[in-house]
Amino acid sequence: MAKILILGGGYGGLITAVTLQKKLHYNEAEVTLVNENSYHYFTTELHIPAAGTGHHERFRVPIKSLLNEQKIRFLQARVTAIDVQAQKVELATGDRLDYDYLVIALGSAPETFGIPGLLEYAFGIRNINTVRMIRQHIEYMFAKFANEPHRPELVTIVVGGAGFTGIEFVGELADRVPELCREYDIDREKVKIYNIEAAPQALPGFDPELVEYAVNVLENKGVTFLINTPIKECTPEGVILADGREIKAATVVWTGGVRGHALVENSGIETMRGRVKVDAYLRAPGFENVFVVGDCSLVFNDEGRPYPPTAQMATQQGQALGANLVALLRGGAMTPFRYIHRGTIASLGKGEGIGMVGRRKLFGAQAAFMKKIVDNRALFMVGGLSLVLKKGKF
């Protein structure tokens, strides 16, 4: 029986598995999904538990609850090496797995663009563990400030990067800060939130009218934007800007970009910033049986520009790959993958958002409402109606 090995239970890997599960008959293939955690988490919403405006339990689901174990075996383990020449995958336990078809869906790592200190001193909105730490770090700094009111840096928060994650995170933070101020008897005025972006506008590449709306909403909530302002260095005390200014901040969160997972870079597959430029069937160059989906993959549009790594992309890739793997197993032909951009929506905290669906711009409550629909749709694709009922937004 053919062995399909899927590495990673994020959107790309999980949707591949779930699609296989739907289409495969029993005993048609031996499918194994390997993931470091016992759960899948909703990467696109991690800014919420990171800020503390929602509990992380709402944003994860046990992988076993999504799988039919007669069709897909789940293995909780950390992958430590991929050897595509020997067709072996090594786990932290020392075990080695072999495969006929490999799906690499290990997600991303932070891209620091060489800025010193970011990996050491900045937090990242990366997974359940790191967002719990961000939430607790911020709250601890507020608790400390109540004891050391002469140290304003304790309640200064720097968010590096005003892309989607950065913008959505400061939106949640701005909602969270008044709660923290009440909890620790702190004046709201004392708290500073900086969103710092190197590019000449927030949400680089996004519609300027929507960007202006977003910046206005967030400024009114108390966020200070420093646009066109590269960060030169991150230190234990805060950040140093390119112009030499220093912002002292006990909390620095870097959302400035991602690259592919380091394991992929070390696997022998050709990568660009850790991402694999896949062919029309999502295969790694030179390997008929190695597929790459999600943030580890790189897909170009018709104008030759790379699509940004998104959950939407990973989900569509997972669906396409699941169907193609079934076709392969049955001796059929694969269908080339084509990404369909359904739109982009960003939340700006409670009841606020912006979005672009087709040519239509969405603002405020309308965008926030659409965001809920999109999030529920993502839940439906992962775990059907029962998951929407358990973790959905109403």
Q: Which residues contact its own copies by CB under 8 A? A: 129-130, 132-133, 135-137, 139-140, 142-144, 146-147, 183-184
Q: How far is the CB of 115 from its own copies (least distance, A)?
A: 21
Closer by beta carbon to its own copies, 95 or else 183: 183
Closer by beta carbon to its own copies, 12 or else 49: 49
Catalytic residue, candidates 90, 168, 197, 265:
168
Q: How far is the CB of 103 from its own copies (least distance, A)?
A: 26
Q: How far is the CB of 137 from its own copies (least distance, A)?
A: 6
Q: How far is the CB of 55 from its own copies (least distance, A)?
A: 9
Closer by beta carbon to its own copies, 144 or else 361: 144
Tell me, yes or no, if 168 is annotated catalytic: yes
Rounded CA gap, 270 and 284, in Å?
8
- Segment 145-150 long-range contacts (CB within 8 Å, at least 24 positions apart): 145/184, 145/186, 145/190, 146/184, 146/185, 146/186, 149/190
Closer by beta carbon to its own copies, 100 or else 139: 139
Rounded CA gap, 373 and 390, in Å?
15
- Residues forming beta bridges with residue 183, ordered by sequence position: none
Cβ–Cβ < 8 Å for 175, 368: no
- Segment 361-370 long-range contacts (CB within 8 Å, at least 24 positions apart): 361/207, 361/209, 361/210, 363/210, 363/213, 364/213, 364/217, 370/345
DSSP state of 335: P
Single out the residue of 253, 239, 256, 247 nearest to residue 203, CA to CA: 256
Q: What SS3 class is residue 348?
A: coil
Residue 299 burial by CB count (10 A; 0-12/13-18/19+): exposed, middle or buried? Answer: buried
Q: How far is CA 314 from CA 113, 282, 318, in A?
A: 24, 11, 6
Rounded CA gap, 14 and 22, in Å?
12
| C-alpha gyration radius of the chain | 22
- Greatest pairwise CA separation for the chain in angstroms: 71
Q: How far is the CB of 209 from its own copies (least distance, A)?
A: 39
Closer by beta carbon to its own copies, 251 or else 376: 251
Closer by beta carbon to its own copies, 136 or else 266: 136
Single out the residue of 129, 136, 168, 183 nearest to residue 48, CA to CA: 168
Q: How far is the CB of 22 from its own copies (least distance, A)?
A: 30
Q: How far is CA 6 from CA 34, 50, 82, 315, 394, in A?
A: 6, 28, 12, 14, 33
Closer by beta carbon to its own copies, 135 or else 275: 135
Catalytic residue annotation: 168
